[in-house]
Amino acid sequence: MSAISIGQAAVLGVVEGVTEFLPVSSTGHLKITEGLMGIPVDDTSVVGFTAVIQVGAIAAVLLYFFKDIVRIVSAWGRGLVHREERHDHDYKFAWWVIYATIPIVVVGLAAKSLVEGPLGSLWVVALSLIIGSGVMWAADQMGRHKRGEDDTSFKDAMLVGSSQILALLFPGFSRSGATMSTALILDLDRVAATRLSFFLGIPALTGAGLYELKDAVGAGVGAVPLAVGTAVSFVVAYASIAWLLKFVARHSFNAFVLYRIVIGVLLLGLLGTGVLSA
């Protein structure tokens, strides 16, 4: 029998799609939802399932930014062949994304047992949600929001890409929250920070999903729940991306900061009263 039912897969797909690219921690929300539904959070197949349905969200990013991705990849290809094309910002940016992914891959492989073990505790998630809120608020206040996407540099990409390690080691901190906060500290405007977060997340999240596929399928999650969760996360994530880009163009991140604090405190309460197990 599958460790996750079709109905549970659909619910988790919605949660993944809504939260993957919002700076509120998809991992934290998935763990909370799994706990409330009685799904064993630390089960190998469940960990694999949550990683694989991220691919649906990544597919949404690929579709939403398809023209941008084609432009960047084309520039990269031209630069590999023609030296004069290597001055193109898109050519450089493609390499920056590759280089900026290396730190998260290295740490992810080295710390896999810790992430799936002690650091995967819901206590860690709750505290990370709250602490990450303070970091996001401070970054939004500190940032001068004066640099656009065309002003990004290799240093920006490496610092923002490496900040994904925070979310990897401390589930609840939020990959989007960490990358967007770092970009804001570097004075990128909110839209540029959000788009950079999207592009830098594509390789890391896709790699994680493919790496965990064997555990998800081989350890107890049926193909149908896996397909349902991935498909739902794709549809919901596409809508979430479109909404987020419109939102950050006109608003600060304060709403997300407040939401994270509320969820973090609520989770602490559920854990403290025994409603949820860490």
Does a structural domain hold residue 277?
no
pLDDT at 216: 60
Look at 222 and 144; give whichever has higher pLDDT: 144
**Count of domains in the chain?**
1
> In angstroms, rounded to a whole number, what is the distance separating the alpha carbons of residues 183 and 218?
38
Contact 47, 116 (CB under 8 A): yes
CA angle 73/176/14 to nearest 5° reads: 95
In a domain, 278, yes or no: no
Q: Under 8 Å CB-to-CB from 158, ≥6 apart: which residues?
A: 96, 99, 100, 103
CA distance to 73, 77, 122, 183, 198, per residue, from 98 (Å): 12, 14, 32, 17, 14
Domain coverage including residue 258: 6-272
* Residue 219, φ and ψ in degrees, nearest 5: -115, 15
Give the pLDDT of residue 215.
60
41 in any annotated domain: yes
Q: What are the C-alpha distances in Å from 261 to residues 10, 60, 77?
A: 26, 28, 44
Backbone angles phi, psi at 43, to 5 degrees: -65, 135
- Average pLDDT of 178-185? 95
Q: How confident is the model at residue 171 (pLDDT cuts 50, 70, 90)?
A: confident
- pLDDT confidence tier of residue 58, bands split at 50, 70 and 90: confident
SS3 call for 147: strand
Asked if residue 1 belongs to a domain, the reply is no
* 113-138 tens-digit pLDDT: 787 677 878 899 899 999 999 999 99
What pLDDT shows up at residue 165?
Answer: 93
Inside any domain, residue 247: yes
pTM of the predicted structure, to 2 decimals: 0.87
Cα distance between residue 207 and residue 245, in whole Å:
24
